[in-house]
Amino acid sequence: GSALSRKLAREGFTLALVDRNRSAVQFLCDEINRIAGEPRALAYEHDITQYDSTPDILRRIIADLGGLDTLVYIAGVIHFPDMDEFNFTEDHKMVGVNLLGAMAWMSAAAPLFQSAKSGQIVGVSSVAGDRGRVGNPGYNASKAGLTNYLEALRNRLTRHGVNVLTVKPGFVKTTATLKNVKKLLFAVEPETAADLIWDGMKKRKQTIYVAGIWKWIMLAIRHVPSVIFRRTSF
């Protein structure tokens, strides 16, 4: 999220950055504005799971920016369960942020873009949503739901001139990933991920994998027969 914010600012966007940690998002905004030499980013404190307050925050943002032409949803949480762990509390948190938070923001912005017959919605899902894997059922479900929701939203909005981009990262070298994942297969730096997302936005693509090799990896995984796939350990 931080890397993409910096990238979009360099490309000339004026940004409204939303985070539940006010000091962290303000620090990022101050950095962006200092480098830009002008006000380019505004900070807003908001807990993504406070769904009822989303429309009010969005209205404030639109008023402060003087309009809105792009919505990027990049919020997400993950819990890494043990293989014998079934934890509804953590699953509920993942669905609440990864899926329901996205639905709250996108359903608030979608009618505005539809009426304007322009705009773009970008949702950061995951390769984890392409198939239900044994390692993390709750996370897989939250991302599969987001991917499906974005496709349905795309099918509604494309006819109105609005693009909906689904981003499916593999491993990105964030603090959480480096701390919790031992084997980072084809991992990319956050700045590389940001560049690839921006390229997809410019080209108004429908779905991109970050990095591109995951497109072929997941194509193979999706076609593994269930009787074989269920015996895997990832």
> Is-contact 164 121, C-beta < 8 A?
yes
Catalytic residue among 51, 73, 139, 149: 139
Distance CA 141, CA 221 (A): 16
Most distant CA pair in the chain, distance: 58
Q: DSSP for the chain? A: -HHHHHHHHHTT--EEEEES-HHHHHHHHHHHHHHHTS--EEEEE--TT-GGGHHHHHHHHHHHHT---EEEE---------TT---HHHHHHHHIIIIIIHHHHHHHHHHHHHHHT--EEEEE--GGGGS--TT-HHHHHHHHHHHHHHHHHHHHHGGGT-EEEEEEE--B--HHHHHH-S--TT-B-HHHHHHHHHHHHHTT-SEEEESTHHHHHHHHHHTS-HHHHTT---
Active site annotation includes 44: no
Residues marked as catalytic:
139
